[in-house]
Amino acid sequence: MENTASKRQAKGKGKQKKQFLNNEAALRLAESIGTGREEESKHKAEKRQRVEPAGKAKPRKVSETKLKLKETKAMLAARRSMNKKSKRNSKTGTSVIEPAKDAQSGQPGKERKRVSFA
């Protein structure tokens, strides 16, 4: 058995390491992948730079209905707080100074009636 083992070693046969790419080919492959990724990142960066200035140029416009809704909600909140204060003060016996109707609503005389469903 020693003869067969020594013959294999002598001829250089036996289990050898597989080599798919040599060092030079691996370096070329890595370089080509790197350049491809670099081009992609540059392209994405250029896209972002084009989009950002265009988005900042347009000021955002708030619609009139949203402004009116906001004012109405504020007016209703002020009325609720006044009602709470008047109820609290009526129990304690002190009076509340009511703000002018012109200050509460922009159009005096157009106060709407409330309807509640029990």
User: What does the pLDDT read at residue 91?
Assistant: 82
Q: Which residues of the chain have pLDDT under 50?
A: 1, 8, 102-103
Query: Whose CA is closest to 82, among 69, 97, 66?
Result: 97
Q: Supply the range of the domain harboring residue 39.
A: 24-85
Residues 6+ apart with CB under 8 A from 108: 101, 102
User: What does the pLDDT read at residue 93?
Assistant: 72
Q: How many domains does the chain have?
A: 1
Q: How far is CA 90 from CA 77, 81, 99, in A?
A: 20, 14, 17
Identify the sign of the CA torsion 53, 54, 59, 62. Answer: negative
User: What does the pLDDT read at residue 102?
Assistant: 47
Looking at the domain assignment, is residue 75 inside a domain? yes
User: What does the pLDDT read at residue 9?
Assistant: 52
CB 111 within 8 A of CB 105: yes
User: What does the pLDDT read at residue 8?
Assistant: 47
Kind and range of the H or E run holding 99: none
Looking at the domain assignment, is residue 40 inside a domain? yes
User: What does the pLDDT read at residue 37?
Assistant: 94
